[in-house]
Structure 1
Amino acid sequence: MKKIFCLHLQKRLLDVFTSPLFWQYGVLLNKFSYSSELENNLHLKGYYNLFQETLPHLKGLLKCYISRIPGRFPAQKHQIGKLKEYYLLNAASLLPVLALDIKDGEEVLDMCAAPGGKSIAMLQCAYPGHFHCNEYDILRSRWLKQTVESFIPESLLNIITVSELDGRQIGELHPESYDKILVDAPCSNDRNWLFSSDVQQARLRLIQRKVLSAVQIQLLRSAIKALRPGGTLVYSTCTLSKAENSDVTTQILNSCSNILPVDIREMASAISHEFALASSAQQYELLVLPERGKAWGPMYIAKLKKT
C-alpha cells in the first residue's frame, strides 16, 4: 500500500513539474514603490493576499498576491533609476524568509542570495542594521546587484553589502558576526531539472547531485561559525532529495553540539491550507510538495539555533 501511495505521489508531482499549464506565480509587492492601481488590478484579476489571513502579524509588511488559476502576471523590465513595483516568484520561496523572522536592527546574512527574491522579501519585512547579500557565482552576482538596484531605494543601499565570496569561507572571514543567516543552498532543483529536455544537462545534474550534499554541509558549517551565539539560521533548498534536505540537517544536528532545532510547527499549521506539506517532516522542518491548485515548491526549510 505504501509503495502504491509513493508511486501515486510521484505521478502527481511529475504532472505539476513538467507542465507549465499547472504552474502558478506569486506577485510580491514592493513597499518602496507601492501602487494602489497595481493592487486594485490584482484584485480585479482574482488575486488575493497570500498571508493576510494566515499570518496577520505580517499585514502591511509582506504582500504576496496569488491566484488559484495557473498563469503568469506580466514581468517588469529593469529600468535604471526606477524601482520595480513587484517581483514574480514561486510563493514557497517566501517561507524561508518567514521562518527566519528578521527584526529591525539585526545583522543579517543571505549567504547564497542570487537572484535576489528572498533578499528583497527580507527587506519588505524589516530594516536590518546591516544586510550582507552574498553570491559566489560572478554572473549570478551581477543579477543579484541588478535586483537590489531595481527594488531598493538609494536611501537604504548604505545598509546593504553585496559580495562574491565563497560561502564556505564566510565563517572564517566573519566569525560570530550575524544574528540571522539564510542558507538557501545550491541544490539539484527538481522543477528545472525535470522540465529540461536537454539530456546532457540532465546527466550533468545527476553527477552534481552526488556531491551537492557535501557542499551544503560545508556551507552550513560556515554559517554556524558566522552566527552569533543565540542567533538563528534557516537552511532551504528547492529539491525533494532527502540526501540534500533532512540528511544534511540531521548530520549538522548530530555533529554540532552548539546547534539546536527550532520548532516551526506553528508556522507550518498557519500556512497548511495554502501549501501542500509533507507529513513526514520533523518539528523543525517543513517540505512543500507541489500539486495542482497549489503548485508551489518544492521547498525544504529547516530552522536551527546556535546556543
Structure 2
Amino acid sequence: MSKYMFSILPFNSTWRTPLWCLWLCSCHSGPDAVSLLNERKGARNKQVTKLHKKKRSSCQPVLDHFDQQYSQELGDLWPSARAVLLDRHSWQYGVMLNRFSTVTDITQTLQSQGFSLLLPQTNVSTLLCNGPSTILISKHQARKDSLLPPQYISKCSPNDSYVQPESPSHALGRDLQSEALSLACPSLQCYIHPYPLRFPSQAHRPGQLKQYYLLNAASLLPVLALQVRDGEKVLDLCSAPGGKAIAIFQCATPALICCNEPDPHRRDWLAKTLESFVPHSLNSRVIVSAQDGRSFGQREAGTYDKVLVDAPCSNDRTWLYSCSGQQGEQRLQERARLPMLQAQLLRSALSAVRPGGVVVYSTCTMSSSENYAVVETVLNDCPEAEPEDLWEEIAIPLSKYFAFSPAHPGHGQTLHKPSPQPQNGNVSSYHHRLGILVVPQPGKTWGPMFLSRIRRRK
C-alpha cells in the first residue's frame, strides 16, 4: 500500500463486513468502479462495455420483497421505479471531470455527443465562489503551517466556466437555476446526457491521472449537501471505492481529508482511485484510514468540520442482479440487521464532527428502515444533533434532473408528494428535514439515493 504515497493509519478494527456486503455501496461509482474491479481480476477496460450488454436475470426473492415493501412505502412511484430497475439499459451515468487533469478534449467530445453540465457554470456561480470561499482561502493561505503553497489552493478561473447549451429558464426558471448553482464551486463539472448513453471508462494507470470519473450522478448530491470549503478537515467514514472523496476534491481543497475503509481489499481499491485522480502535490492532505467506523468518533472526537457517512446498505440495483434465489434469501435476512450498523456509524460521525460542524448521511437504497428510520433513531438519541432541510436547497433546484420524494416519519405509508414550490412557508416541515430520496424514474433514472444533513449544535 505504500506505493500509493498516502498516509495510512493502522488497521485495528473488529468490523468484519460479509463478502456480499462489500459490493453494496459501490453502485454509484458506475463503470469506473466496475472497471477497476475487473482490472483486479486481470480483465481489460473493453470488458466494461461487454458487461452492460450481457443480459442478467433479476433475483426473484429480492424482487418479491421489493414489490411488497416499496409498493407501501413509495406508493405510485414504485411501478415506474420498478420498471427502471429492471431495465439496465435505461440506466444513466454521469461523467465527472477531474480538475487536476487536462480535460479540454474530453469536454469537446462530451458536448459534441449531447452531454451538458449538471451544474451550469455562469457568472452567478463565479460570484458565489469568489465570496465566502475566497475568504476561507485567504485565511488558510495566511497560516504559517499551510500544507501547500498558494498555487495548489483551488481557485475560480475563467477556464472553469462553461455555458449550458439549453435555456436555464426551462422547467424551473432563472431563480431556481441560480439557486442550484450555489450547491457547488464551479470547479465541479459533471456532464450528463438525457439518454442512457455510455461513455467509455479509463483504465487505472499507476502514476497517471485520469481525466474523468463515471458515476451515477445522484451520488454527487451528498457531496453537494456537505458544502465542503477550502481549508476544512473532512472525514469520509465509509470511503471505498472513493468516488465521493474524488467529488469532494472537485468541489474544494480541504486542509485534510481522511478516507476511512476497514476492509483491506476495498481499501486497496480506494487507494487506487485516489492515485488515479489526486495529484502528488495533494498527497499530504490525504489519509487512508483503516479504523472501525463505529468507534471512529470515540478516537477522534470533535476533530472534523464535515463528515460524510455513505453507509453500507442493501443496494437496490445490485441486489436485483448479483445473487441466486438462495443468496437472495440470505441477503434479505442480512437486510434486517443493517439499520443497527448504520445507526452506529451515524452516531460515530456525530461524535467525530466538531460542534457547529455538519454530517451528511447517505445510502443507495430506497428502504425506509435504512434511511428515514436510522436518521430518526439517531436524532432521538443525540440531543445535540439538528436536522437541516434539503428540500429547497437541493430537491427543488435539481428536480429538472432527478425525481425526488421526501422523507416521511412513518412506515408502510404512501408518501405524500409535496408541490415543488413552497406553500404557506411550511416547506421546512419535520418529514422534509429527515432527508430527501432520489427515486429512479423513466427519463430520470438516477438513484436510488437518500441523503440527510445533520448539524451538531454548538
Superposed counterparts of 1:257-296, under 5 Å: 257-265=383-391, 266-280=393-407, 282-284=431-433, 285-296=435-446
Change (3 A) 1:231 1:8: closer
CA shift digits 1:113-147 (9 cap, x unpaired): 01111000000111111110001111111100000
Structure number with greater CO (CA < 8 Å, separation at least 6) is 2
Aligned residue in 1 for 2:231 = 105
Q: If the length of structure 2 is used for normalisation, what is the TM-score?
A: 0.65
Which of residues 288, 311, 336 is equivalent to 1:210?
A: 336
Contact 2:364 2:449 in 1 (8 A): yes
Which of residues 257, 271, 288 is equivalent to 1:145?
A: 271
Contact 2:209 2:278 in 1 (8 A): yes
Aligned residue in 2 for 1:16 = 84
Higher strand share: 1
Who wins on radius of gyration, i.e. which is larger? 2
Contact 1:51 1:59 in 2 (8 A): no
Amino acid in structure 2 at the alignment position of 1:272: S
Contact 1:276 1:288 in 2 (8 A): yes
Aligned residue in 2 for 1:178 = 304
SS at match of 1:33: coil
Q: Give how far 1:263 is off.
A: 1.8
Aligned residue in 2 for 1:56 = 181
**CA RMSD across the alignment:** 1.6
Structure 1: runs of 5+ lacking an equivalent? none
Q: Give how far 1:104 is off.
A: 0.7
Q: Identity across aligned pairs (percent)?
A: 47
Which of residues 239, 247, 255 is equivalent to 2:373?
A: 247
Contact 1:183 1:235 in 2 (8 A): yes
State how far apart, in whole Å, the 1-side matches of 2:349 and 2:74 are. Answer: 34
Amino acid in structure 2 at the alignment position of 1:233: V
Aligned residue in 1 for 2:106 = 38
Contact 1:18 1:195 in 2 (8 A): no
CA shift digits 1:187-243 (9 cap, x unpaired): 000111113352233222201111000000111111111111000000000001100
Superposed counterparts of 1:54-93, under 5 Å: 54=177, 55-57=180-182, 58=184, 60-93=186-219
Contact 1:17 1:195 in 2 (8 A): no
Contact 1:183 1:223 in 2 (8 A): yes
Q: Give how far 1:5 is off.
A: 10
Aligned residue in 1 for 2:68 = none
Amino acid in structure 1 at the alignment position of 2:117: N
State how far apart, in whole Å, the 2-side matches of 1:126 and 1:132 are. Answer: 14
Given the alignment of the two structures, is residue 297 of structure 1 paired with residue 447 of structure 2, yes or no? yes
Number of aligned pairs?
305
Q: If the length of structure 1 is used for normalisation, what is the TM-score?
A: 0.95
State how far apart, in whole Å, the 2-side matches of 1:8 and 1:132 are. Answer: 41
Change (3 A) 1:178 1:6: closer
Q: Give how far 1:11 is off.
A: 2.2
